[in-house]
A and B are shown apart, each in its own frame.
Chain A
Amino acid sequence: GQQLNQSPQSMFIQEGEDVSMNCTSSSIFNTWLWYKQDPGEGPVLLIALYKAGELTSNGRLTAQFGITRKDSFLNISASIPSDVGIYFCAGPKSQGGSEKLVFGKGTKLTVNP
Chain B
Amino acid sequence: NAGVTQTPKFRILKIGQSMTLQCTQDMNHNYMYWYRQDPGMGLKLIYYSVGAGITDKGEVPNGYNVSRSTTEDFPLRLELAAPSQTSVYFCATSRGAATQYFGPGTRLLVL
Contact = CB atoms under 8 A, between A and B. Distances in A.
A45 B101 contact: yes
Interface residues of A, number: 22
A100 B97 contact: yes
Interface in B26-46: 33, 40-43, 45
Interface in A23-75: 31, 33, 35, 40-45, 48
Contacts of B1: none
A98 B41 CA distance: 24
Given A42-B90, A105-B41, A106-B42, A99 B102 contact: no
Interface string B76-111: 000000000000001010001111111111000000
Contacts of A101: 33, 45, 97-98, 100
A104 interface: yes
A41 B98 contact: no
Contact of B99 (A33, A41, A100, A103): A33
A43 B48 contact: no
B42 A98 contact: no
Interface in A68-113: 88, 92, 96, 98-101, 103-106
Contact of A48 (B43, B98, B104): B98
Contacts of A48: 98-99
Interface of B is mostly: loop
Interface of A is mostly: strand
A103 B42 contact: yes
A96 B54 CA distance: 14
Contacts of B90: 42-43
B50 interface: yes
B58 A100 contact: yes
B105 A100 contact: no
Nearest to A89: B42
B98 A100 contact: no
Nearest to A45: B99
A107 B98 CA distance: 20
Interface of B: 4, 33, 40-43, 45, 48, 50, 56, 58-59, 90, 92, 96-105
